[in-house]
Structure 1
Amino acid sequence: MDCFVGVDVGTTNVKALALVPTDLNTILAHASASIDTINPKPGYAEQDVTAVWDAFAEVMADVNAQLKQAGHVATHVAFSTAMHSLLAMDGQGKPLSHAILWSDNRAEEQANQLRTSQKALGDSIYQQTGTPIHPMIPLCKLAWLQEHDPRLLHRAARFGSIKEYLWHRLTGQFEIDYSMATATGLFDPAKQQWSQLAIEYAGVRPDQLSAFVPTTQQRPLLTTDDTAKLGFSDQVSLVIGASDGCLANLGAGGIKPGITTLTIGTSGAVRQTVKTPLRDPDGRLFCYWLDRDHYVVGGPTNNGGNVLEWIEQLLQKETQAVLDEAGTVPPGADGLLFLPYLQGERAPLWNAAARGAYLNIDFRHTQAHFVRAALEGVLFNMLSINQLLTKQTGPSRVVHANGGFAQSPLWVQMLADMAGIPVRLNASNESGSMGGILLIMKTLGIVKSLDEAADRVSFGNTIEPDSANSRAYQKIFKQWETARSQVV
């Protein structure tokens, strides 16, 4: 039986799942492989793209072996990929450098200049591109290369993302989908071309960048020794897909107005889907292209599940033991507040130098209070992003939640209580891969629109807010915002 495969190329893993479009609740095959991140200096984060290819190849071979054993054949594959990576390539697509990842902060000085001494230029680039100014974006990374590695800048025939490297190796084409392009800080979506203002600042030429294609672009698989190892049939069709954030929104069913999608993995994001592009007056929200009629607007945070991991390391306890301890303390942790900025911050601060803090510590606070305050601090920060978002899009009526945090009933209940609206859990946590499969269905006309595709998404539990806790959290959130304004 024919089936579709959604691939999610993240920062820490490559994951894939296979489904038939008539039954999106039954996973036919699933595989995952980890990717190592290289940290050559403090603040640097890189990956060897050949190692990413190896992880991708391992996952594809595993999925196809599972499908073959079950009597299925993958006919279409779509790609969800992490944003903001940058690598230099020669004219044949061979890497001349490691990929610089979204979490790399080496371009902090360039970003700060665009937000201060060159603010007029930075504001203009944001208004054109919809990408907040931050060290994560290729715009700032290229500006860093101009100053610190100009030889690489001039030696490279091409610059692109990890996705573009993989796509070229799979298809022989240098192409970038509009979704990934809107995350570079180099693309003008209104004109559907590279922003002249941005590329002049970045020091690159249009011919060094990929050609634009829609997120539904299809290509046949190039026949090479490398691609033969993936296990696909000769008839497989590749759909370029979109960024992980956009496809995660689609795969979470977060397409219609009033639905906020909240994801917390290692990092996190708050997103809504809108019909027309939006811009925050102060440049704090992204706006990325999903298709011509859908744009994903929101804000990412650097500090999500990594805060819980930090607590676990401090206490030398397993995840469940830490969460159980937090459950022994009332909402608000008896006045203890936590600013979760352990790795700088993107939204809502866009300040790579921001750092975390505990506030209002006194003798009554126990280890459990510190844990509870940390979990609450992560959600308060997400709530502050959502406040910026709803000013542009209108109020939320429901939150669709996914990511690792969704496996904790306590943490999800905290979210419902803070937001004061129901929280629906996705049946599948693989929202990026699911979004890719839904995009294939739209590409092939199985569904008429992405709105119809999102209606196919299944959910697990719905968590209702506790009214008493919600009232308490409204006051605590105001205290947390005041504390943040005084410290950060």
Structure 2
Amino acid sequence: MYIGIDVGTSTVKAAAFAPTGHELAVAARPVTLTLHAGFVEQDMQEVYDAVVAVLDEVTARIPEPVELAGLTGQGDGVWLVDAQGRPVRPAASWMDGRAHELVDRWLADGTFEAVFRRTGSAMFPGCPGPLLAWLDTHEPKALDEAAAAVYCKDMVFHRLTGAGPRTDVSDASMPFLDPRTRTYDNRVVELLGLTHRRGLLAPVSDPVATADALGEGLPPGTRVANGPYDLPACALGAGVTTPGDGLLIVGTCLASLVATTDLDLTGEPAGLYINTDRPGHWLRAMPAMVGTAALDWVLSTTGVHHDEVDALLAETPPGANGVRVLPYFAPSGERAPFVEPRLRAELTGVSLESTKADLIRATCEGIGFAARHCLEAAGLTGTLAVCGGGTRSPAWMRLLADVLGRPLRVMEGEVGARGAVLAAAERYGQALDAEEWTRPTAVIEPDAARAAYYAEEYEEHLTRLSQARERVRA
């Protein structure tokens, strides 16, 4: 049995796999996000306890011995830990918006662009650079007490194995890592005013770190590999490794990834280059801030349950009877394929004749347009896989194929956990059939007429977005 652990933003999961890649069992636990006035935080102990709980459940349900475990999880944010991996303060989430004024300042004075030209990372308020700088000003005592500023999965790895604070090249990609040398760029640390905090940056393991489990959640001595984080793990789990091929993750975050061997640090600073386990190979990532979270908000506001979405999408035609949604719901604005910390969602074309179905379809269409924008900016030229919670809605997947105008290789199940296992197997020299492990569960073809309609609507979406950005900057 192989186990993949995926420490998500709102849900922690563990999945057990057979050597063939067949998913044997999944256990999940929700974890809490605390939101207040732009602050988005998580209780690290709650997150770790959820990891132990799902591991206990999976290992109890499947009697086979655990060959190895791979770990992945949400990226960005700041997870301050002491020397034992215990929390110093609540984790600041990647969704956090408290540092937006710093990002605004760095956008204005050229720091933002200077960092991108060196690292390929377009900073946003919830990434470690701005958050560490904010904490250095407002909560210096927390930084004084911390042994390391790690990422989510790193905290879990530390606690499960006692291996000490460390991260991998994928998590470290934003915003301090030089993608050519795969080491921290001290000039970037200096540009962000954090030279005196340089010692908090966790050592980078390249290749990913390995250690034996201490016995909490996993049997003592179980081999564990730390990384990559959830975006590149999903790319591995979906078989997206050939340059030009892409992955769309329709999850809490709407992430668009394209495999590439071309490191281009010119053009509009946006998104990031994620370092992979193969030097000279990157994922050009455009992780938009909000994916299913936008639809969740609309469903909650309208009193609609998730299991009603497919039926409601069938009740209203493409174009949602004139209702339009710009789906930028995150408190910290947007980060891909552009950075606009103050951008907010817009709902237009609503009248007394509009229905819940119109609102839901317009939201799904708006998310699709945002995905198309990101994929085009990331340089998609090959096949496209799709995974995440959104794949549970067949109607939404058909809508997405039409909006994107291309076939979708649908990857169901725990794709991130699957990728974590494949990464761990590679690190430990275990021969797994990656092609078999990453076979799609379905391929959805777009409807030609609807795709042509949405191509025109996409251009209108870009116009509305441009106008919205101009209003924010005015």
| Normalised TM-score (structure 2) | 0.92
Kept in 2: contact 1:215–1:239 (CA 8 A) = no
Counterpart Cα distance in 2 of 1:359 and 1:325: 19
- In structure 2, give the amino acid aligned to 1:424: R
Structure 1 counterpart of 2:105, from 113, 126, 138: 113
Counterpart Cα distance in 1 of 2:323 and 2:177: 43
Counterpart Cα distance in 1 of 2:226 and 2:309: 41
Gap runs ≥5 in structure 1: 222-226
Counterpart Cα distance in 1 of 2:363 and 2:413: 23
Q: CA deviation at 1:365?
A: 4.1
Q: CA deviation at 1:424?
A: 1.5
Counterpart Cα distance in 2 of 1:315 and 1:301: 24
Counterpart Cα distance in 2 of 1:93 and 1:437: 23
Structure 1 counterpart of 2:334, from 324, 333, 345: 345
Kept in 1: contact 2:6–2:230 (CA 8 A) = yes
1:224 aligns with none
Counterpart Cα distance in 2 of 1:46 and 1:14: 16
1:395 aligns with 381
Q: CA deviation at 1:321?
A: 2.6
1:356 aligns with 345
Tell me the secondary structure at the aligned position of residue 469 of structure 1.
helix
2:45 aligns with 50
Counterpart Cα distance in 1 of 2:283 and 2:397: 23
- In structure 2, give the amino acid aligned to 1:34: P
For residues 38-437 of structure 1, the aligned pairs below 5 Å read: 38-39=34-35, 41-68=36-63, 72-116=64-108, 118-119=109-110, 121-169=111-159, 170-183=161-174, 185-200=175-190, 201-203=192-194, 204-221=196-213, 227-234=214-221, 236-279=222-265, 281-293=267-279, 294-343=281-330, 344-361=333-350, 365-390=354-379, 395-396=381-382, 398-426=383-411, 428-437=412-421
Counterpart Cα distance in 2 of 1:367 and 1:47: 32
Counterpart Cα distance in 2 of 1:359 and 1:436: 41
1:37 aligns with 33
CA shift in 2, pair 1:358/1:193, >3 Å? same
- In structure 1, give the amino acid aligned to 2:417: S
CA shift in 2, pair 1:327/1:29, >3 Å? closer
- In structure 2, give the amino acid aligned to 1:466: D
Q: CA deviation at 1:24?
A: 0.7
| Normalised TM-score (structure 1) | 0.89
Structure 2 counterpart of 1:457, from 426, 438, 441: 438
Deviations along 1:32-64, one digit per CA (max 9) or x if unpaired, are 12211223x311111121221111111121222
2:472 aligns with none
- In structure 2, give the amino acid aligned to 1:29: A
Deviations along 1:266-307, one digit per CA (max 9) or x if unpaired, are 221111112343435211121111212432112112222122
Kept in 2: contact 1:8–1:79 (CA 8 A) = yes
Q: CA deviation at 1:92?
A: 3.9
Deviations along 1:373-406, one digit per CA (max 9) or x if unpaired, are 111011111111112112xxx523x321111211
Structure 2 counterpart of 1:24, from 21, 37, 52: 21
Kept in 2: contact 1:328–1:368 (CA 8 A) = yes
Counterpart Cα distance in 2 of 1:198 and 1:147: 18
Counterpart Cα distance in 1 of 2:272 and 2:42: 24
CA shift in 2, pair 1:215/1:5, >3 Å? farther
Gap runs ≥5 in structure 2: 470-474
Aligned-CA RMSD value: 2.1
Aligned length: 463
> Percent same amino acid at aligned positions?
27
Tell me the secondary structure at the aligned position of residue 382 of structure 1.
helix
Counterpart Cα distance in 2 of 1:440 and 1:462: 28
Q: CA deviation at 1:362?
A: 5.4
Counterpart Cα distance in 2 of 1:209 and 1:312: 40
Tell me the secondary structure at the aligned position of residue 232 of structure 1.
coil
Deviations along 1:10-39, one digit per CA (max 9) or x if unpaired, are 111221112232x112x2332112211223
Q: CA deviation at 1:455?
A: 5.6
CA shift in 2, pair 1:67/1:487, >3 Å? same
Kept in 2: contact 1:279–1:285 (CA 8 A) = no
Kept in 2: contact 1:84–1:102 (CA 8 A) = yes
CA shift in 2, pair 1:366/1:210, >3 Å? closer
CA shift in 2, pair 1:38/1:360, >3 Å? closer
Kept in 1: contact 2:240–2:246 (CA 8 A) = yes
Q: CA deviation at 1:231?
A: 4.1
CA shift in 2, pair 1:193/1:369, >3 Å? same
Kept in 1: contact 2:169–2:276 (CA 8 A) = yes
Counterpart Cα distance in 2 of 1:371 and 1:319: 11
Kept in 2: contact 1:245–1:432 (CA 8 A) = yes
2:465 aligns with 484
CA shift in 2, pair 1:404/1:280, >3 Å? farther
Which stretch of the first structure deviates more once superposed, 153-162 or 331-340? Answer: 153-162
Deviations along 1:142-161, one digit per CA (max 9) or x if unpaired, are 11112212233334333222
Deviations along 1:304-333, one digit per CA (max 9) or x if unpaired, are 212222222232222233432222222122
Kept in 2: contact 1:290–1:296 (CA 8 A) = yes
Q: CA deviation at 1:202?
A: 4.2
Deviations along 1:238-257, one digit per CA (max 9) or x if unpaired, are 11121100001110122223
Q: CA deviation at 1:111?
A: 1.1
